[in-house]
Amino acid sequence: MEQQFKYFAFISYSTHDTKWGKRIHKKLESYSMPATLCCKHGWKRKPLNPIFFAPYDIQPGGLTEELKNRLRQSRNLIVICSPNSAQSYYVGLEIEFFHQLGRTKNIHFFIIDGEPNSGDESAECFNPKVKQLGIPEILGANIHEKVYRWPWLNRERAYVQIVTKLLGVEFDSIWQRHRRMLRQRIALWFIGMAAVLAALIGTWLTNRPVDVEVSLNETSVHNKNLPPLHNAVVTLMLDNEKKTDTLNTLCSTATFTNIPASMIGKEVRVQFKCEDWCNTDTTLLLSKNIALSISRDINAFGHVRFTMYDSQVMPVAGKTIRIAGVEAKSNAQGVVDAIIPIEKQSTVYNLTSSEVSLVDTIKDAKCGDSDAVFTK
* Residues 277, 356: Cα–Cα separation, whole Å: 35
Q: CA nearest 350: which of 318, 324, 321, 317?
A: 324
Residue 233: count of CB within 10 angstroms of its CB: 14
* Helix (H) or strand (E) segment spanning residue 186: helix 171-207
The pLDDT assigned to 57 comes to: 45
> Is 214 within 8 Å of 292 (Cβ atoms)?
yes
* Residues 245, 234: Cα–Cα separation, whole Å: 5
Return the ∠ at Cα 65 (arms to 59 and 67), rounded to 5°: 45
- Dihedral, CA of residue 306, residue 310, residue 316 and residue 322, to nearest 10: -60
To the nearest whole percent, how much of the chain has pLDDT over 70? 97
C-alpha 188: how far from chain center: 20
Q: Would you say residue 269 has pLDDT above 90?
A: yes
The pLDDT assigned to 60 comes to: 52
The pLDDT assigned to 288 comes to: 92
* Helix (H) or strand (E) segment spanning residue 23: helix 18-29
Catalogue all structural domains in the chain, each as residue range(s) with its CATH number.
7-169 (3.40.50.10140), 210-296 (2.60.40.10), 299-374 (2.60.40.10)
* Residues 236, 63: Cα–Cα separation, whole Å: 80
> Is 333 within 8 Å of 348 (Cβ atoms)?
no
DSSP 197-257: HHHHHHHHHHHSEEEEEEEEEE-SPP-TTSPPP-SEEEEEE-SS-EEEEEESSTT-EEEEE
pLDDT tens-digit series, residues 39-95: 777 777 788 889 998 764 445 556 788 889 999 999 999 999 999 999 999 999 999
The pLDDT assigned to 19 comes to: 93
* Residues 322, 320: Cα–Cα separation, whole Å: 7
The pLDDT assigned to 309 comes to: 92
Task: Flag whether the pTM goes above 0.75.
Answer: no
Q: Amino acid identity, residue 155?
A: R
Q: CA nearest 227: which of 301, 321, 315, 306?
A: 301
DSSP E strand boundaries for the chain: 7-12, 51-52, 74-81, 107-111, 141-142, 209-218, 232-237, 242-247, 253-260, 267-273, 280-285, 289-294, 303-309, 320-323, 326-329, 335-339, 348-352, 362-364, 372-374
* Residues 329, 187: Cα–Cα separation, whole Å: 89
The pLDDT assigned to 2 comes to: 58
The pLDDT assigned to 271 comes to: 94
Half-sphere exposure in the Cβ direction for 122 (13 Å, CA)? 0
